[in-house]
Each structure stands twice: as structure tokens, then as C-alpha cells.
């Protein structure tokens, strides 16, 4: 008899094999796998028997990395309901749009978001129940009270592997966010692929630096459990707390977007002095600079591996897998390779880089095309958006919108988002390449390069630079550095020094804001 593939099975295995092994740490709360699984069952019981949730219903969560948020990734989908994890950094109007668009009938929120949700209740008339995960007040059901009084018994429905597990909303930097439909099979296959290439065991301790709402925590909400490893919930990231937690809990692994890597690399000396060596880091979300990788590996003794994917691909489809011959290279040479997106995971399906006629580009490390993919980890489509779905799957492949090359060794390297490639005097300029060169200057903490209109060249690169604390640098010095490390036509025409770069709520730089010269840019 065939059984559906679902990541929910990983918790059932863990409760049978590791019932007394510590599973979740959230502040003073420490749960074994037996206790964690029992809490998930009790919440499923509450949802089904007290709140009337049925298969196919959508349940919205707005919360940071807490034990209750982690429990949602099991308790909701094991009812054949669909979890809608919402970015808690969004605005109340964004909350209202996502709740309404997804058709969520129950909203579960952390104490920090209760006031925001109360302010939009009139805009979300189809919500039947409001649950406070912490800090319950008038008009809110209390999560822990309901859980404590519940039975762990509930009616378990059949769950097809093609059924919706989550709807994850994209950042929506230039338009309304789209709801990415991830199935049980999508998440199961990506979890297995992650474990094949990023090995974990019951000895591992995983730190939740990555938001769980972000592409389901890159499936680590299930991957850590599948390994029988320990989840350490981290509600807020600051360098002191991060390094203290890594040492106190014996953390062995974490995931981090490049913005978090930059904060780690530039943390105060007293914080970095506490760094526990040997921590394994997966990074994704945007191409990290080789200089950042080199500094973290060289100074902290951590091991960084880049993975690549999108919310639409559940999310990983490539990994920059280290090869034995890489060990013979210098640290700088290894860092350059580690900044590439790599090769397909065993479970990714088909990945290629193609031109505008869907022809594969040569593996020469120079010819740019678009990354396309098809396989078991690709989303079902965009929720209630057939037009966007059809566009994304033109020609039978999912189009990522990422411009890349393939090197002779088969490793893919992103050169830009297709819309961010700068065409200056007929020459294509990769903003990522220019950013990587500038980040090697010791005075540069962050940088974003965009194309701006230019009378002579049509378009020219402009750099927006955040200077490292205590450092000074001039535009002339940066321009000389750029010309020393790049073809001269790639050097930015102008340098704009800013106190911070505009970012989405998930840490991606909003280049359209820079190109538009919006007021969001805070100049020094």
C-alpha cells in the first residue's frame, strides 16, 4: 500500500524513536520530542473540536520564532488544513490583504502583533477566531490555556501528498504579494534533499536565526525534526544574544540570509571573541559576497555553504557543494567558489540556464541566461492567480527571473536578477560582481549597485554604500579600488554614501527604491 509523502511523518518518527530527547528550547521552556508532539496533537484537537477547523481551511499565523510558531507547522497541516505563515514585520494593511486573499478563518498572533490585528478586524470579516499565542487580552483566545485543557485526540483525515501544506506570501516589493502554494510532497522532497546534502544528526543543535515564516524556515521546521536534532528558538537577532546562545546551547548549525552574515562579520570584537568554532552555516536569499564568506570562515572558524532557491521552489534547488579538490585552494579562491549557487540537489529535478529561446547556454562561465527548473519541489502555483501562474510556468518550466552563467565544472553562478542587469554602452554589467568587488574594501560594510539613466551610455552603474562603523573612505578611493579589481567600464560612475539600504521585511535590498531615488534612502 502506498502512503502519501508528507513532512508530518518526521515528527511521528521522532516521537517514537526520540521521545525523551530534547526537541525544542524557547527561553526557559524546554520540550522533549514526546512533549512537543503531544502539544501539536492537543492544538490540532483545539482547532478541530473547539474552533471548527476542517480540511482545506486556511489558518494564519503572525509570530516570530517561538515554540508556538514551530508547533503550527505540524498541528495545522495534520488536519489537512493549510498553514499561512505571515511575515510579522509587515504592515497591518499587508496583514489584512494576506488574510483576506488566503481566505484564512483563524488568526493566531504573538503578543507583539495583537494591537496591529485588533486595528484591522473590520477589514477581515471572514475571520471567525482570534488566538493570542502569548499575552492574551480581551477579544483573544489564550493559546496556552486552550492547549492545557485539550485532549490530544482528534480525527485524523487522509492527507494527499498533492494537498496544500502552506501558502507562503512573497515579499511584494513592487506589487501585492503572491501566495505560493506548497504541497506536502514539495516540502517532503525538499527536506530529504536538504538532509542528503547538508547532513544533520541527533547530535546537532540548530539555532533559529532564520524566520520560520520565510519559505517555512527553508523547510528546517521539518528538517531538524527529521534528524532528531534540537530546535533553539531565537525571537530576535542581535550579535551579543546570538553568540551567547551559540555558546550556551552548543549550537552546531544555523541558516542565515546574507544580511545576517554581514551583521555577524561586522559584530563588535567583544561579541565575535565569544564565537564557538565549527558552526555550520547555510546561506541563501541573495548571493553573498566572497569577502564576507572569507572573513567569517577565516576569523570565526565557521563553515559556510551557499544554497539557492525561491519560495516557489520549496525552496532549495541548488547547493554549492564542496569538492575534495576545493581543499587545495587558498581561502580566497575557496570563498570565490562558495559565492556561487552550485549544482542541483539530488531531489531538485531538472535545473538549467537558458537563453530567451529556451536554449541551454554553454558552460563557459560567461554566457548569461535565466535559471529555470521543473520537478517535485516546484510549487503548485500562485493561489487564486492563474495569470501569474501561467506566466511563471511558460514553456513547461518554472522561470526564476535570475540571470546566471554555468561554469565549465557545472556550477551555476547568479550574475543578477534579470531586471537588475545593467546595460551600459551595450555592455552587460552584473551588479553582484561590482558589489562583490567593493565589499572587499575594508571600509565598506554594505553596498548595492543599480543602473541609473546616463546621457552618454544610456545607463551607468551607481553604488550606494554603507561605511563600516569607525571607518572613513572617499568616492575617489572606492573608484580606484573598483578600477583595480574590475574592468574599468564596470566601475560605478557615482558613489552615494547612505546610513542604511532600503530592504524588504526579509532582508532583501529594494533596488527599485534606489533607482527611484525614494525618500527611504537615508543619506549620511
Flag whether pLDDT at 446 surpasses 70.
yes
CA distance 52 to 129: 10
Mind listing the pLDDT tens digit for each residue in 22-73? 999 999 999 999 999 999 999 999 999 999 999 999 999 999 999 999 999 9
315 preceded by cis ω (within 30°)? yes
- What percent of the chain has a predicted confidence (pLDDT) above 70? 97
Give the residue-averaged pLDDT of 341-346.
Answer: 95
- What percent of the chain has a predicted confidence (pLDDT) above 90? 73
Flag whether pLDDT at 421 surpasses 90.
no
pLDDT of residue 523: 42
Flag whether pLDDT at 295 surpasses 90.
no
Task: Look over the chain and give the mean of its residue pLDDT values, rounded to a whole number.
Answer: 92
Count of C-beta atoms within a 10 Å radius of residue 323? 11
Flag whether pLDDT at 518 surpasses 50.
no
Count of C-beta atoms within a 10 Å radius of residue 395? 11
CA distance 502 to 490: 23
pLDDT of residue 175: 63
**186 touches 379 (CB < 8 A):** yes
More confident residue, 135 or 454: 135
Domains along the sequence of the chain with CATH:
33-184 (3.40.50.12780), 237-417 (3.40.50.12780), 421-523 (3.30.300.30)
CA distance 108 to 144: 12
Q: What pLDDT band is residue 385 in, cutting at 50, 70 and 90?
A: very high
* Residue 454 C-beta-side C-alpha neighbours within 13 Å: 18
Structural element, H or E, at residue 130 = strand 129-132
Residue identified by cell 552563467 is 405
Give the residue-averaged pLDDT of 250-273.
Answer: 88
* Strand 522-523 to 179-183 pairing: unpaired
**136 touches 142 (CB < 8 A):** yes
Give the residue-averaged pLDDT of 81-91.
Answer: 94
CA distance 467 to 51: 52
Mind listing the pLDDT tens digit for each residue in 177-209? 899 999 999 999 999 999 999 999 999 999 999
Give the residue-averaged pLDDT of 349-358.
Answer: 96
Give the residue-averaged pLDDT of 316-344.
Answer: 90
Q: Taking Cα atoms as reference points, which of 161, 98, 75, 61 lies closest to residue 377?
A: 161
Give the residue-averaged pLDDT of 491-513.
Answer: 86
Mind listing the pLDDT tens digit for each residue in 422-442? 878 767 788 888 988 899 999
Flag whether pLDDT at 160 surpasses 50.
yes
By CB neighbour count within 10 A (0-12 exposed, 13-18 middle, 19+ buried), where does 11 fall?
Answer: buried
Q: What pLDDT band is residue 399 in, cutting at 50, 70 and 90?
A: very high
Max Cα distance, the chain (Å): 72
Q: Taking Cα atoms as reference points, which of 315, 322, 317 lies closest to residue 339?
A: 322
pLDDT of residue 173: 47
Give the residue-averaged pLDDT of 148-171.
Answer: 95
**105 touches 126 (CB < 8 A):** yes
Q: What pLDDT band is residue 141 in, cutting at 50, 70 and 90?
A: very high
Flag whether pLDDT at 121 surpasses 50.
yes
More confident residue, 426 or 463: 463
**Which of 217-231, 235-249, 260-274, 450-464 is the most confident on average?**
217-231
Buried/exposed 379-394: b ≥16 CB within 10 Å, e otherwise: bbbbbebeeebeebbe
Amino acid at each position: 500500500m502506498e502512503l502519501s509523502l508528507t513532512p508530518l511523518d518526521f515528527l511521528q518518527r521522532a516521537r517514537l524513536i526520540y521521545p525523551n530527547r530534547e526537541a525544542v528550547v524557547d527561553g526557559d521552556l524546554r520540550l522533549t520530542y514526546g512533549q512537543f508532539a503531544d502539544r501539536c496533537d492537543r492544538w490540532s484537537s483545539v482547532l478541530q473540536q473547539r474552533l471548527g477547523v476542517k480540511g482545506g481551511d486556511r489558518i494564519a499565523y503572525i509570530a516570530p520564532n517561538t515554540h508556538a510558531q514551530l508547533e503550527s507547522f505540524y498541528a495545522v497541516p495534520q488536519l489537512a488544513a493549510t498553514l499561512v505563515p505571515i511575515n510579522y514585520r509587515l504592515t497591518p494593511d499587508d496583514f489584512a490583504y494576506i488574510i483576506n486573499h488566503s481566505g484564512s478563518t483563524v488568526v493566531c498572533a504573538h503578543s507583539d502583533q495583537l494591537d496591529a490585528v485588533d486595528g484591522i478586524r473590520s477589514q477581515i470579516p471572514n475571520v471567525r477566531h482570534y488566538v493570542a499565542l502569548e499575552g492574551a487580552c480581551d477579544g483573544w483566545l489564550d493559546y496556552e490555556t486552550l492547549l492545557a485543557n485539550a485532549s490530544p485526540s482528534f480525527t485524523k483525515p487522509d492527507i494527499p501528498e498533492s494537498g496544500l501544506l502552506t501558502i507562503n506570501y512573497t515579499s511584494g516589493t513592487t506589487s501585492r504579494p503572491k501566495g505560493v502554494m506548497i504541497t506536502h510532497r514539495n516540502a517532503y522532497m525538499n527536506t530529504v534533499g536538504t538532509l542528503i546534502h547538508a547532513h544533520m544528526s541527533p547530535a546537532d543543535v540548530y539555532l533559529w536565526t532564520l524566520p520560520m515564516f520565510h519559505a517555512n524556515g527553508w523547510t528546517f521546521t521539518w528538517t531538524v525534526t527529521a534528524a532528531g536534532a534540537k530546535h533553539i528558538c531565537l525571537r530576535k537577532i542581535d550579535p551579543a544574544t546570538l553568540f551567547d546562545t551559540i555558546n550556551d546551547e552548543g549550537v552546531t548549525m544555523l541558516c542565515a540570509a546574507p544580511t545576517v552574515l554581514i551583521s555577524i562579520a561586522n559584530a563588535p570584537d567583544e561579541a565575535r571573541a565569544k564565537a564557538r568554532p565549527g558552526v555550520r552555516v547555510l546561506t541563501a536569499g541573495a548571493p553573498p559576497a566572497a569577502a564576507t564568506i572569507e572573513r567569517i570562515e577565516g576569523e570565526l572558524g565557521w563553515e559556510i555553504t551557499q544554497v539557492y532557491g525561491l519560495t516557489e521552489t520549496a525552496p532549495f534547488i541548488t547547493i554549492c557543494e564542496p569538492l575534495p579538490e576545493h581543499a587545495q585552494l587558498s581561502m580566497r579562491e575557496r570563498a570565490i567558489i562558495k559565492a556561487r549557487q552550485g549544482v542541483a540537489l539530488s531531489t531538485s529535478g531538472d535545473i538549467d540556464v537558458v537563453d530567451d529561446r529556451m536554449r541551454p547556454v554553454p558552460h563557459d562561465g560567461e554566457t548569461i541566461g535565466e535559471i529555470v527548473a521543473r520537478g517535485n519541489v516546484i510549487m503548485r502555483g500562485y493561489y487564486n492567480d492563474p495569470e501569474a501562474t501561467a506566466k511563471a510556468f511558460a514553456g513547461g518550466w518554472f522561470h526564476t527571473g535570475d540571470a546566471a552563467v554555468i561554469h565549465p565544472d557545472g556550477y551555476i553562478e547568479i550574475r543578477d536578477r534579470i531586471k537588475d542587469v545593467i546595460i551600459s554602452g551595450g555592455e552587460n554589467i552584473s551588479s553582484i560582481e561590482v558589489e562583490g568587488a567593493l565589499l572587499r574594501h575594508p571600509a565598506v560594510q554594505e553596498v548595492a549597485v543599480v543602473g541609473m539613466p546616463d546621457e552618454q551610455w544610456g545607463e551607468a552603474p551607481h553604488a550606494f554604500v554603507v561605511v563600516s562603523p569607525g571607518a572613513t573612505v572617499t568616492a575617489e578611493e572606492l573608484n580606484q579600488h573598483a578600477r583595480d579589481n574590475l574592468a574599468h567600464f564596470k566601475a560605478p560612475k557615482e558613489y552615494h554614501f547612505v546610513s542604511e539600504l532600503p530592504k524588504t521585511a526579509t532582508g532583501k535590498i529594494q533596488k527599485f527604491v534606489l533607482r527611484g531615488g525614494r525618500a527611504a534612502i537615508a543619506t549620511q
